[in-house]
Amino acid sequence: MKKKFLSILCSMVILCTITTISAFEVKAEELKVVDGSALTMDESSTGYSSSSLLRGEYLMTGESTISKAGLTRVYAYAATTANKQVDYIATLVYVEEYIEEEDGWGQVAWWVEETHDDYFLSTAKSVKVDRGHYYRVRANHIAGDYDDFPYDETASVTDGIYLP
């Protein structure tokens, strides 16, 4: 009797595990992805630069974040970190809106932040946007020394968040 009960119990645990995993996979497949960004209902999203092989000698990481900042505002943040102090470091930040008719992203706002003789740079702004759309942040991260041109460059991008 104990063996039969344990067998049924193990079968139920396995069935529940498979059902749970399948439900998560279906949910992930339902998200639409446009140009590397999933369209989500999340409150915020953070994206990181790609693998270290693509960053070069000076860049260490690039990061971008978008979050809801009220009914008609998003908060955009981006940071660039170099491996060591460099002559030049910059971050170009783009806030983009998903345009359903074109199935692509259109630019809402952009700015550049740069500094010299440093290893870290961050920038953030609150941007006024329209409700009823998806928004994301895309950032280019640049670092290098004056005598070693062109500079290292990488990019980061967030998923799209929806402002109802």
Q: Which residues contact 77 (CB under 8 A, 6 or more apart)?
A: 63, 64, 65, 66, 122, 123, 124, 137
Q: What is the predicted pLDDT for the residue at 23?
A: 45
Q: What whole-number distance in Å separates Cα of residue 154 and Cα of residue 149?
A: 15
pLDDT tens digits, one per residue of 47-77: 999 766 556 789 999 999 999 999 999 999 9
Q: What is the predicted pLDDT for the residue at 22?
A: 45
Task: Report which of 112, 121, 128 is spatially closest to residue 163, judged by C-alpha positions.
Answer: 128
Average pLDDT over residues 35-44: 95
Q: What is the predicted pLDDT for the residue at 150?
A: 87
pLDDT tens digits, one per residue of 99-155: 999 999 999 999 999 999 999 999 999 999 999 999 999 999 999 999 888 899 999
Architecture of the CATH domain 34-163: Sandwich (2.60)
Q: What is the predicted pLDDT for the residue at 17?
A: 53
Q: What is the predicted pLDDT for the residue at 148?
A: 83
Contact predicate 143/151, CB 8 Å? yes
Q: What is the predicted pLDDT for the residue at 7?
A: 60
Q: Pick the range with the lowest mean pLDDT from 24-38, 87-101, 126-140.
A: 24-38
Q: What is the residue extent of each domain of the chain?
A: 2-30, 34-163
